[in-house]
Structure 1
Amino acid sequence: MTLTDQTIASREGEELDTRVIDSYLKSQIPGLSGTPRISQFPGGASNLTYLLEYPDLQLVLRRPPHGHKAKSAHDMGREFRIINQLGSSFPYCPKAYVHCTDEAVLGSEFYVMQRINGIILRSELPAELQLDAQMTTQLCKNFIDKLVELHNVDYQACGLGDLGKPEGYVQRQISGWTDRYEKAMTPDAPQWAAVKQWLKEKQPADHPQPGIVHNDYRFDNVLLDRQNPMSIIGVLDWELTTIGDPLMDLGNTLAYWIEADDPAPVQLMRRQPSNAVGMLSRREFVDYYAERAGIQIDNYDFYYTYGLFRLAGIVQQIYYRFYHGQTKDKRFAQFIMMNKLLEQMSLQIIAKSPL
């Protein structure tokens, strides 16, 4: 069993023209030679990601999905700029090589970056890593440390001060995701009315120290060193990154953090080994984050519930494309059930919350 991400033949309708992409890249990257072998990374449910294997260089190409897309999503130029400029202050970004805005090349804009060849953890912790409970706890803390480190980056110093507007960030996220969810509604989708109202009423003030918000930080978006799996060497998927409230970003990550004692239906959504023996619970996760960030977090119900609602918005946007036949990826057929489960999880949190 290999511990690095494996690719597949491109899915039907998502193939790239090898001749076209090879010709374009050779006009942009000096010294590139040979013909690439192109395959597709099967994971991910948003942008399409491909591996381009040249004899002497491995590249990764990212492009938007086909079909209906949210207006503010899938901005290739923005993601290209972020990883290019952030790399000097947060050395875990892949090197970006080319951003193509000419949609005549592939039918959409795209960008090409370095491949960081590391281990990506999926739903289960691989036995080959031989991590005991103590090592797993340390790996979990290393994962949180990277998030704190990102939130502490001086975004002005790396030229990303105009990436977002921290003032009013919390309010914009609640209203923005409410709007995006409603625009992606399908007849079988839940309304989320009670949760939307609760989030609107309970929203706190913006964090006094805004930072870079990754917006999709989870274990399957980080790369571990193949020689030392305790070490994180890369962070991927910067398409949603902005400047804002770091605690909202914490809520995004908590939405994916499924514990070992969460109910069986919730376990079916798990896509990272957050249930492994030694992994921190959500409460422990928050406490460790607060300790490392030097702040106090008395109650995280709002941020966690926001993260679940936002995740449902992403899930529903993807399901919308499947429902209307804009993608043939059969994984997305079950996303409507995930959406409904996320609503029930949110309602349970609200029912017990002291807020």
Structure 2
Amino acid sequence: MSTNDTISIRPGEELNVKNLQTFLSQHLGIPAGSLEVLQFSAGHSNLTYQLKVGEWEAVLRRPPLGPLAPKAHDMEREYQIISAIHPLFSPAPKPILFSKDESVVGSPFFLMERKHGVVLDTSFPTNTLITNELCQQLSETMVDQLVQLHNINYHDTKLKDMSKPQGFLERQVHDWISRYERAKTDDMKEAELVMKWLTEHIPATQDSTIIHYDYKFNNAMFSSDLRSMVGLFDWEMTTVGDPLADLGVAMSYWTQVDDPDLLKFGLGKPPITVTEGFFTRKQFIEMYSKKSGRDVTNIDFYLTFAYFKLAVICQQIYYRYKKGQTNDKRFSSFNRFVQTLINHGVHVMSKEVS
């Protein structure tokens, strides 16, 4: 990860350094010494930390604090996923170990390799010459890596035993509707419209592939010259399912310059994809279709579902904030962002993606 992507640990999210140091010594033979722990600043879900003892370094992932949604934040499952995918897809981090021992950091956790490179989120590194060519090349790399991931034969991996591709899309639609109902804090008639439309318009799945399901720039890492993707993180949502659902999720994060302001600024600064030269969602989808050979006629469904799914994730976070299960002030206005995402889903429901 980049040199400026770590921060001092946020209050309340500290790790027990002494317990962790003892664990590393016992299980990995890391010599006793000064364990340095920093926190990665990005992300609103799982807590991710950089560990360093001398020349040794690793990344630790654990669930967020407080009560969790059912089936969410399963550290063992995410560890098994990267273990299965890393040998076939090099941007996936190499796994180190998983532990159920909650006495170490207060929850199950896993360790993985610490990759180094550039994470692009809302801005480019200082002194980067930002050109249309660079933005187009980054866009195409994102398309290429998604196509490459979808080309892996999941039957060659343990994911074939960890997932149920048959009926994936229907289960997903009903599962995310249930999640929304459980986390609802306000009545929103637009949400009712979207949920009804989704249940009535589920398309037939063309094929099933490994899907990352959280594919976006700030989950990726690039080489220092920005020419290649060297890392892809946050495999928590990964499964075997409809690849167009993965494309839809990627496009729900792919904000473009003519999007509503709340969509662009809902989480702070807009992502780099609003910069001139980046593909529009339509261009990304068309290139994905050309390179993968998949029919994207029904992409409006997948994109609407993706905006709804993202709205539910934000609603779950807002629910935890409103119930006092987290005090992170970043989440205090997530209800407005949920409304914006739902409204955008309504907009996409009956219109061509642009």
**TM-score range with shorter-chain normalisation?**
over 0.9
* Residue 154 of structure 1: how far off its partner (Å): 1.2
Structure-1 separation of matches of 2:5 and 2:141: 25
Note if contact 2:262-2:337 (Cα within 8 Å) is conserved in structure 1.
no
AA aligned opposite 2:254: W
Query: Which one of the candidate residues 228, 232, 235 is aligned to 1:235?
Result: 232
Are residues 1:218 and 2:216 paired?
Answer: yes
Q: How does 1:256-275 map to 2 (within 5 A)?
A: 256-269=253-266, 272-275=271-274
Are residues 1:79 and 2:60 paired?
Answer: no
- CA deviation profile, 1:166-217 (whole Å, cap 9, x unmatched): 110110110000001111111476661000000111110122x211111100
Q: Secondary structure at the match of 1:50?
A: strand
Aligned length: 351
Structure-2 separation of matches of 1:31 and 1:37: 13
> Which residue of structure 1 aligns with residue 316 of structure 2?
317
Q: For residues 128 and 299 of structure 1, do their structure 2 counterparts lie closer, same or farther at Cα, with a shift above 3 Å needed?
A: farther
> Which residue of structure 2 aligns with residue 287 of structure 1?
286
> Which residue of structure 2 aligns with residue 60 of structure 1?
59
> Which residue of structure 1 aligns with residue 250 of structure 2?
253
AA aligned opposite 1:252: V
TM-score (norm 1): 0.94
Note if contact 1:308-1:346 (Cα within 8 Å) is conserved in structure 2.
yes
* Residue 68 of structure 1: how far off its partner (Å): 2.0
TM-score (norm 2): 0.95
State which drifts further: 154-163 or 310-319: 154-163
* Residue 15 of structure 1: how far off its partner (Å): 0.5
Are residues 1:108 and 2:107 paired?
Answer: yes
> Which residue of structure 1 aligns with residue 46 of structure 2?
47
Q: For residues 48 and 3 of structure 1, do their structure 2 counterparts lie closer, same or farther at Cα, with a shift above 3 Å needed?
A: closer
Q: For residues 40 and 3 of structure 1, do their structure 2 counterparts lie closer, same or farther at Cα, with a shift above 3 Å needed?
A: closer
State which drifts further: 149-158 or 33-42: 33-42
Q: How does 1:135-284 map to 2 (within 5 A)?
A: 135-187=134-186, 192-207=191-206, 209-226=207-224, 228-269=225-266, 272-284=271-283
Note if contact 1:190-1:340 (Cα within 8 Å) is conserved in structure 2.
no
Structure-1 separation of matches of 2:12 and 2:319: 18
State which drifts further: 327-336 or 343-352: 343-352
* Residue 351 of structure 1: how far off its partner (Å): 4.1
* Residue 31 of structure 1: how far off its partner (Å): 4.4
What stretches of structure 2 of length at least 5 have no aligned partner?
A: none
Note if contact 2:5-2:42 (Cα within 8 Å) is conserved in structure 1.
no
Structure-2 separation of matches of 1:84 and 1:163: 13
* Residue 353 of structure 1: how far off its partner (Å): 5.6
Q: Root-mean-square deviation (CA), in Å?
A: 1.8
Q: For residues 189 and 325 of structure 1, do their structure 2 counterparts lie closer, same or farther at Cα, with a shift above 3 Å needed?
A: farther
Structure-1 separation of matches of 2:104 and 2:3: 30
